[in-house]
Structures are given as structure tokens and as C-alpha cells.
A = this chain, B = another copy of it.
Amino acid sequence: MSDLDTTGLRARLIDAGVELVTAEGAQALTLREIARRAGVSHGAPRRYFPTHVELLSAIARRGFADLQNRAAKAVAGAETGPRAQLTALAEVYLDFALSQRGMYELMFRHDLLESNRLGLRETSLPMFATLVELAGRVRPEADARILAGALWANLHGIAQLWGWGSLRLATDADGHAPLLTAALDAHLGPEER
């Protein structure tokens, strides 16, 4: 019944979708193609996902969970101190967005997901909570939620604009790194305070 069931068709459909979006991008996530890759007819998914959107949402939830895991691991593995942990979190976030482009794209394609109803916002919440907590410790004088929200927005914007080439800089060799450090320095203050 839940996504943890690794045997049933439900899980196989989600698996196929994750592979597909990773390999081919969000626009490849056709209901019929997912069914094909899962080895069933195009009508079968309807048993478990009444609509295409619900299947895509289940796939996106996998992405949010993945990102959440990476973020938690990064924070735990970083040197202590909120600033270093935030840096690690931000690096992992951008790395995820740029290495798992298809999945990241899906995760923020609100027209493809049941964004408003339960599920997705809840899944992305824990990462934002740690973001708020760490941001509050770095700059106690600021509104932690605003600070964290602005920082998240900055990361998201870098991922999107850099990710598909809207934003090209003179220093192409460095990639997105200078943007990331600029964002961190701006919102959190320079590294050595």
C-alpha cells in the first residue's frame, strides 16, 4: 500500500518512473511509457494511481526523500558549526539539482504534481526546517524563516538559471561555484566573521 512495498506493481511503477525521469527527463514521464517499462498495459497504473498526476507525484516524492537524505547526511558529515553545515547543505542541494536534473525539474513542476493537496509540501518541509534552524544560529538577529526562505530561493534560482544556461558568466571554468559562495556570503555573511 505504501511506497515501501518493493514487490507490488505500485512500487514497480514508481521505480520505472524514477529511472525514466533520471535518464530521459521530465517530459519523458508518459503514463504509457512508465507502464511499458513496468511491463504492464497502459490501463494497469489506474488501479493504484487514478490519474497521471498522482503517479508523477509519487515519483517526485522519491526525489524529495532522496534530497532530504542527502541533505541530512551532508549536515551530519560537515564540521560542526552552523555556517559550515549550511555550506555543506547548500553544496549538496545544488549538486542534487544539477546532477539529477530530470528529477529536480519534476519536483518543481507544479503543473504536473498535486502540489496543493497533502504530500509534497510535507516532504520538502524537513529540509527547510533544518535550514531555518541553522540560519537562526548563524544570524540570531534576523528572522530565521525569512532568512532561510531567501537563501533557499537563491539556491533554487541558481539551480534553475544555471542549470539550463540562462545565466552564463565570464568565468565559465568555475561553473556555478562563485554564485554559490556569493549567495552564502550575502545571506550569512562572509566565511570569517
Contact with B along A160-193 (1 / 0, CB 8 A): 1110111111110000001100110011000000
How many copies are assembled? 2
CA distance A171 to B145 in the complex (A): 10
Contacts of A25 in B (CB 8 A): 111
Closest chain B residue, CB of each to CB of A163: B110
With both chains docked as a complex, state the minimum distance between the C-beta of A168 and any C-beta of chain B, in angstroms: 8
**A interface residues, tally (CB under 8 Å):** 42
- Which positions in A face B, CB cutoff 8 Å? 25-27, 105, 108, 110-111, 115-116, 121, 124, 142-143, 145-147, 149-150, 152-158, 160-162, 164-171, 178-179, 182-183, 186-187
A-B contact pairs, 25 of them (CB 8 A): A105-B111, A108-B160, A108-B166, A110-B165, A115-B164, A115-B165, A116-B165, A146-B171, A146-B178, A149-B179, A150-B158, A152-B167, A153-B160, A153-B179, A154-B154, A154-B157, A154-B183, A155-B157, A156-B156, A156-B157, A156-B160, A156-B161, A157-B158, A182-B187, A186-B187
